[in-house]
Amino acid sequence: MKVFLFCVALAFVAAGAAAQAQSGGRGGYVCGGIGVGEQERMKSAAAGHDLMLTFATSAGAYLADVGVQIRDSSGASLVDVSCDGPIMLVDVPGPGTYRITARSGGVARERTVSVTRGKRPTSATFVWPAANS
Q: Is the pLDDT of residue 105 over 70?
A: yes
Percent of the chain surpassing pLDDT 70: 78
What pLDDT does residue 2 have? 41
Domain 20-128, second-level architecture? Sandwich (2.60)
What's 17-50 look like in SS3? CCCEEEEECCEEEEEECCCHHHHHHHHHHHHHCC
| For range 49-56, the mean pLDDT | 96
**Whether 126 contacts 55, CB under 8 Å:** yes
What's the whole-number average pLDDT of the chain? 83
Q: Name the pTM for this structure.
A: 0.79
Q: Is the pLDDT of residue 13 over 90?
A: no
| For range 25-48, the mean pLDDT | 89
Where are the domains positioned within the chain? 20-128
